[in-house]
Amino acid sequence: MTRYHQPGAVLTDHRFSVPLDHTDPDGARLELFGREFVAPGRAGDDLPWLVYLEGGPGFGARRLWGRQAWLGRALKEYRVLLLDQRGTGASSPRNRQSLAALGSPAAQADHLALFRADSIVRDCETVRRRITGGAPWSVLGQSFGGFCATTYLGTAPEGLREVFITGGLPSLHHHVDDVYRAAYPRVQRKVEAHYARYPMDLDRARRITAHLAEHRTVLPGGYVLTPEAFQSLGILLGGSDGSHRLHYLLEDAFIRAGDRFELSDAFQESVLAVLSFAGHPLYALLHEACYGGHGGRPTAWGAERVRAEFPRFDARAALDGDAPLLFTGETIHPWHFETDPTLRPLREAAELLAHRADWPALFDPARLAANEVPVAAVVYHDDMYVDTAHSLDTARAVRGLRTWVTDEYEHDGLRTGPAVLDRLIGLVRGDI
């Protein structure tokens, strides 16, 4: 372990060994990474632990420093562990390079099937027993981290002292098709709100899309920017500053090159920074698998299939008429594994995962209905990424869960400061 200091915090880096497959504890193993934060002067105190589970899937825990965002509030009473979930960050990362060693696409797919929320929860239990001496700990789950926390409540509630969920109450019963049928109208509302704020972007988006339809555009590193890939910049619109970021990205897209206009290098680099999966390939590989296990049906590229039910999202059809170009949101499509060079070698494994039908259920409705762990969740009104109605259905299904429904924040409310976590702590403790 390595201990060091930042302004307002003492940090310790931890490494943990866990089984790749928790049903085979003597088999292959993974190394997990976690970063501990504690307030200065309290490093030797017997403080309760709070483990943070990042959104995703596929993202390592955010690299916070000092008392940034929600961390300052947490350090008032907790020892905090920012845990990189398996396959992410510094926890045995999985990408085209590391997965190539497994050989066949079938072997890769079988391996990746062990990287869902059920395995993440078992990892957490292994880590908890090691660092708390067996005492239960608190969990803070952001977005997909909230999905994991919900799985945790139904799998190992004995390990939980209290749970805080931010923008991450999952549907317990809906198939992936239902998730996206609810999602596309929400995304359309976000896009329409963006154009109402920045009407000049209507023309800019159409002009860029028309250029991409006529000219094959390859970004630095080999990413092919198609009209559909350009549309996926709409993923920005679910964040508190996303509309503004999208606007500033679009406003200087073109540069004059002699007697013609081209997409500028600066624009291409900015787009690549948003769209590339190089740093989080598991997001693309396992995003729909988060919803696997409902009814024994494969996910089968649900976002792609359901998109056909919403023809206004057809970029090329929009260009043929005068309809606005609709950006898309948190959706993964087969073409992602063609346009992104870091995903192309994993295309066959992705197909196998998409057509897998034997996913185990991630949630236990009966145990959730009998829950005794104090739980509080913030549900963001009209959250672009997680359906509000689905979240509230789940909130009603978890015994004792207290909700805070608000339109003060977007999906990233936890990251804007201490207020969200402070309110959830108050709800769990009965102070509110």
Give the domain ranges of the chain. Answer: 2-172+363-429, 176-354
- Tell me the percentage of the chain whose pLDDT exceeds 70: 100
280 is catalytic: no
d(CA 42, CA 82): 18
Please say if the pLDDT value at position 295 is more than 80: no
Instruction: Count CB-CB contacts under 10 A for residue 405.
Output: 13
Residue at token pair 């409540």: 153
What's the CATH number for 2-172+363-429? Answer: 3.40.50.1820
Output the CA angle 178-184-186, nearest 5 degrees: 105
Given this model, what pLDDT does residue 294 score?
Answer: 73
Beta-carbon contacts of 49 under 8 Å, excluding residues fewer than 6 positions away, are 78, 79, 80, 81, 128, 131, 132, 135, 137, 138
Q: Cβ contacts of residue 78 below 8 Å, gap of 6+?
A: 47, 48, 49, 50, 138
* Tens-digit pLDDT profile for residues 100-109: 999 999 999 9
Residue 300 DSSP symbol: -
Pick the catalytic residue: 92, 143, 270, 391? 143
| CB 57, CB 151: distance < 8 Å | no
Residue 196, pLDDT score: 98
Residue of 26, 322, 358, 407 marked catalytic:
358
pLDDT computed for residue 293 by the predictor: 79
Q: What pLDDT does 47 receive?
A: 97
Residue 410: what pLDDT?
95
Q: Look at residues 170, 238, 236, 237 and name the one whose alpha carbon lies nearest to residue 389.
A: 170
User: For residue 353, how many other CB atoms are within 10 A of its CB?
Assistant: 23
In 15-75, which residue ranges form alpha helices assigned H by DSSP? 71-74
Q: By the 8 A CB rule, do 325 and 314 touch?
A: no
- Which element (helix H / strand E) includes 142? strand 137-142
Distances (CA, A) of 237 to 4, 158, 228, 286, 376: 37, 38, 16, 22, 26
When pLDDT is averaged across residues 141-151 and rounded to a whole number, the result is 98
**pLDDT confidence band for 432 (50 / 70 / 90):** confident
Q: How far apart are CA 413 and CA 380, in angstroms?
A: 8
Task: Please confirm, yes or no, whether 45 is among the known catalytic residues.
Answer: no
Q: pLDDT tens-digit profile of 327-336?
A: 999 999 999 9
Contact 145, 168 (CB under 8 A): yes
Give CA–CA dist 154/293, Å, rounded: 15
Is residue 358 flagged as an active site residue?
A: yes
Residue 349, CB half-sphere, CA atoms under 13 Å: how many? 26
Q: Has residue 12 got a pLDDT over 90? A: yes
CA gap 91, 84 in Å, rounded: 6
Give the residue-averaged pLDDT of 24-34. Answer: 97
Least confident of 258-272, 289-303, 361-375: 289-303
Amino acid 117: pLDDT: 98
- Phi, psi at 10, each rounded to 5°: -110, 130
- DSSP H stretches of helix in 198-241: 200-214, 227-231
* pLDDT at position 2: 77
Sign of the Cα torsion 369, 413, 12, 63 reads: positive
Task: Report the candidate in 145, 196, 83 with the shortest Cα–Cα distance to residue 412.
Answer: 145
Q: Place 140 in a pLDDT band, splitting at 50, 70 and 90.
A: very high
Distance, in Å, from the CA atom of 114 to the CA atom of 230, rounded to the nearest integer, reads 32
CB 268 within 8 A of CB 223: no
Give the number of residues written for the chain.
432
**Alpha carbon distance, N-terminus to C-terminus of the chain:** 39
CA distance 233 to 320: 21
pLDDT of 15 strictly over 90:
yes
| Residue 296, pLDDT score | 78
Which whole number is the average pLDDT over 30-50?
A: 96
Residue 204 has pLDDT above 90, yes or no: yes
Q: Say yes or no to pLDDT of 353 above 90.
A: yes
Stretch 216-231: mean pLDDT: 97
Q: What integer is the mean pLDDT of 169-186?
A: 96
The pLDDT value recorded for residue 305 is 97
Asked if pLDDT for residue 1 goes beyond 80, the answer is no
Q: Give pLDDT, residue 104.
A: 97
Residue type, 382: D
Give yes or no for residue 141 having a pLDDT over 80.
yes
Q: What is each CA distance from 31 to 86, 170, 189, 221, in whole angstroms?
A: 8, 28, 42, 30
Q: Does residue 30 surpass a pLDDT of 90?
A: yes
**How many other C-beta atoms lie within 10 A of the C-beta of residue 419?**
14
pLDDT at residue 422 above 80?
yes
Averaged pLDDT, 260-266: 95
pTM of the model as a whole: 0.96
Separation CA 135–CA 79 (nearest Å): 13
* Closest residue by Cα to residue 82 from 109, 52, 50: 52
DSSP for 84-121, written as a single string: PPTTSTTSS--SHHHHHTT-SHHHHHHHHTTSSHHHHH
Mean pLDDT for all residues in the chain:
96
CB atoms within 10 A of CB 391: 24
The string of pLDDT tens digits covering residues 367-415 is 999 999 999 999 999 999 999 999 999 999 999 999 999 999 999 999 9
Which parts of 267-425 are beta strand (E)? 375-380, 402-406
